[in-house]
Amino acid sequence: GAGVSQSPSNKVTEKGKDVELRCDPISGHTALYWYRQSLGQGLEFLIYFQGNSAPDKSGLPSDRFSAERTGGSVSTLTIQRTQQEDSAVYLCASRPTGLGGYTFGSGTRLTVV
């Protein structure tokens, strides 16, 4: 596609439920990143995928968070047993191999009630 596509754009869930957020990166981009943006805050790194290499999970805040990337393309971020502090905008970005800049999607706004 022309850009990074994220779905859903908005998600309201009850505390304790699991949620899945989807990211479709730009075709051919080998690197994929997930960031979290809390209200009025900067972007917090969550996880990074590069090709078929093992992902860098160093930013995941707890073991309730996990992500996978299938076939080097689509990625899913899963949050289990959601808590109110998980409410934020979750942003996905992709980047081509080399020194190219990130292209971000529009994000998924997650609200845990």
Partner 1 sequence: QQQVKQSPQSLIVQKGGISIINCAYENTAFDYFPWYQQFPGKGPALLIAIRPDVSEKKEGRFTISFNKSAKQFSLHIMDSQPGDSATYFCAASGSGSARQLTFGSGTQLTVLP
Question: What CA–CA distance (Å, rounded) separates 24 from 5?
Answer: 5
Tokens standing for 55? 């992902």
CB 91 to partner 1: min, Å: 5
CB 27 to partner 1: min, Å: 18
| Other beta carbons less than 10 A from residue 100's beta carbon | 13
Q: In angstroms, how far is CA 58 from the centroid of its own chain?
A: 14
19 vs 107 by CB, closer to partner 1: 107
> Which residue of 25, 60, 95, 110 would you call a contact of partner 1, by CB under 8 A?
95
Question: What CA–CA distance (Å, rounded) separates 112 from 13?
Answer: 5
Footprint of partner 1 on 8-67 (CB under 8 A): 31, 33, 35, 40-45, 48, 50, 56
Q: Does 93 bind partner 1 (CB under 8 A)?
A: yes
> Which residue of 26, 79, 91, 112 would you call a contact of partner 1, by CB under 8 A?
91
CA distances from 63 to 28, 87, 96 (A): 30, 16, 29
14 vs 52 by CB, closer to partner 1: 52
Contact 85, 97 (CB under 8 A): no
Residues in contact with partner 1 by CB under 8 A are 4, 31, 33, 35, 40-45, 48, 50, 56, 91, 93, 95, 99, 101-107
